[in-house]
Amino acid sequence: MKETNPESDPDAEPDETGRRWAMERRRLLQATGAGLGSFSLIGFGGDVATAQTGCADGPFERTYVGGSINMGQIRAEEARGTTPSDVGAATPPSAATEPADGHQPPQKAAQESNADADGPLTVHAEYDGVTAEDTRGAVPSDSQVAAGNGKILHALNQQVAIYNKRSGQREQMVRLERLWEPVIDEPEGGFAYGYPFVFDPRARYDRNEDRFVVCAVQYEPGLTTDGEIVDREELEEGADPRDGEEGEDEVSEDDAETELSRPPRGWWMVAVSATSNPNGKWYVYRVPPITNEGLVDYPTLGLDRDAIYLTQNFFGEQFEVTMATLDKAAMYDGDAVTGHHFTGMHNPDPDAPFTFTVQPALQPFSGGSSGSYYLVNSGFVSNALTLWEVTDPVGDPDLACHTVEVGPYSGPPAAEQPGTDARIDTLGTRLMNADYDDGSLWTAHTVGYDWTGDGDRVAAVRWYEIDVATRSLVQSGVYGEPNTSYFIPTVNADDGETVVVHNVSGPDTYPRMDVAGRTADAPAGELEDAVVVEEGESSYDYGEGSDVMRWGDYNGAAVDPITGRFWTVSQYSPDVEIPPEADERDPYYTRIAEVSFEE
């Protein structure tokens, strides 16, 4: 195996290294042969440690009855002005803003194409999505996109919006919790925040069934006997995996002595459109974890031919990752749904058993009762990924886990930005998502990488292709550049083409949105091209006593079911500079962009 870093590779041709093209909306990251600002890991060898049993506890079977809601009816109620008043925010509701309605505020105009730019990646239709100013102060944005027949669904904290795919005209926007209003019961003593706190959305389009699927989590904080809220941060501090594996299950003495009148609880929230039209009827469900006393956080969403898959990080008495498989056919009919739960998921590697943020694949045309379904997660400082395999998800699920060696990686530093000492959270080494394409599982995360060998590490994107049949690495690459951070990558793969939507920030680069990608003809381990979708125009510093700014926890990508092009969404920092000492948060904007490898 040869690691190719073109900044120092003596075998690279001079005119193939260090090249920079300055062109409108486009920036080439990798040249022919050895990639610019990249290295590759191709066919990395190593034994595969397999644990067919003992990967988790379960399955535990439960049945859930749902409800239904009609987006058209919500829109009519909003037009009549009967929408309940807005309160709260995605972070604790100390700075609620004015209610956001369904109308689109003035934003950057949609642009049709940059097809005159050189290179294989082309940006087609693009327009601003929901911005921080449209929400209730939600940080981070957690943007997701799902592309259907003529419609784009954009979900984020704490809104969900529907756009005309071509024109970019916003047709509908509702509060995230409103989608699940029929199945949310108000707890005894009322909602701690004054409203149901629903956050961390994920959105998918099931191309096999022509349905939109959205999930999120609802968290209802615990209350002490004195009526004080036991907030998210208190639970996370008791079991924060980012602090390292040692002590992740420890609870402070003060926490242990806290007397609760009501424990914290949480639920997965799942919604599926009754047809391919997201402006109509939806079936909605609320699914509790098996032991529902703690914080549900960072939910993930996947699907195959027969099931919908949910995972979450659960901060309870002990931290654990849990998973549920749900009968897709019953859910798509609005019927009672059988779910199978696995709890206490753990990696098979005895040297690194701790598991965090397991990502289920988008796999609509395979798996189910007649095949295998796949999930994957990374470690914190490791040389391996864990590949999870589910069979018979609706009837009698079986869960196996396998160690896939990929070469060493470790966590990234925070990202610099111009004009401020405030840095941006690059979110560690957790994988952002997983996508399945013709026997390969694609995934990516952010790692720390030293491009120059002088010890100056920056955040860089590392991506992987895994052969699920052999449970081994096909290829992998790291890309970025010295002194600049590349972070929060989300992958989408279809018919031999792969895109990676991510963010870029550095001392001379305001936080922006990029999309990179490769086709099957590209050299192994390399990304073929990249475009700057939206330049950042100011630093992102919302103050509040923090030196590291929460950014976008994850981005979104989806395949268009009609054209096969890719739809992407991410954050960028607009030309709005609010002083950190001001009693107002610096806003983010989001951009929805259609990209392809054709003009």
The pLDDT of residue 106 is above 90:
no
Q: Tell me the DSSP string of 525-565.
A: T---EEEEEE---S-----TT-SEE---S--EEEE-TTT--
- Each domain of the chain, given as residue ranges in start order, spans 14-596
User: Which of 171, 170, 167, 71 is closest to 110 using CA atoms?
Assistant: 167
Spatial distance between the Cα atoms of 360 and 227, rounded to a whole number of angstroms: 38
pTM: 0.85
**Are residues 529 and 504 in contact, defined by beta-carbon separation less than 8 angstroms?**
no
Q: What is the tens place of the pLDDT at every residue in 273-305? A: 999 999 999 999 999 999 999 888 999 999 999
- Burial class of residue 64 in the structure, from the number of CB atoms within 10 Å of its CB (0-12 exposed, 13-18 middle, 19+ buried): buried
Q: What is the pLDDT of residue 112?
A: 32
Average pLDDT for residues 125-136, to the nearest whole number? 92
**Residue 269: phi, psi to the nearest 5?**
-115, 130
Q: Examine residue 140 and say whether the peptide bond preceding it is cis (omega within 30 degrees of 0).
A: yes
Alpha helices in 265-415 (DSSP H): 328-332
Between strands 548-549 and 556-559, the pairing is unpaired
Can you tell me whether residue 240 is helix, strand or coil?
coil
Greater confidence (570 vs 100) lies with 570
**Are residues 503 and 570 in contact, defined by beta-carbon separation less than 8 angstroms?**
yes
Paired tokens of 147: 């592309």
Pairs from 442-445 (Cβ < 8 Å, separation ≥ 24): 442/466, 442/491, 442/492, 442/493, 442/498, 443/359, 443/376, 443/385, 443/491, 444/489, 444/490, 444/491, 444/500, 445/378, 445/409, 445/489
Can you tell me whether residue 108 is helix, strand or coil?
coil
Average pLDDT for residues 441-445, to the nearest whole number? 98
Q: Examine residue 218 and say whether the peptide bond preceding it is cis (omega within 30 degrees of 0).
A: no
HSE at residue 180, side-chain half, CA atoms within 13 A, is 30
Task: Please tell me the least confidently modeled range out of 42-46, 60-64, 197-201, 264-268.
Answer: 42-46
Q: How far is CA 152 from the centre of its chain?
A: 17
Nearest-5° Cα angle at 128, 595 to 587: 130
Q: What is the pLDDT of residue 216?
A: 97
The pLDDT of residue 31 is above 50:
no
Instruction: Give the amino acid at 484.
Output: T
Spatial distance between the Cα atoms of 557 and 441, rounded to a whole number of angstroms: 15
- What's the mean pLDDT when you consider all of the chain? 83
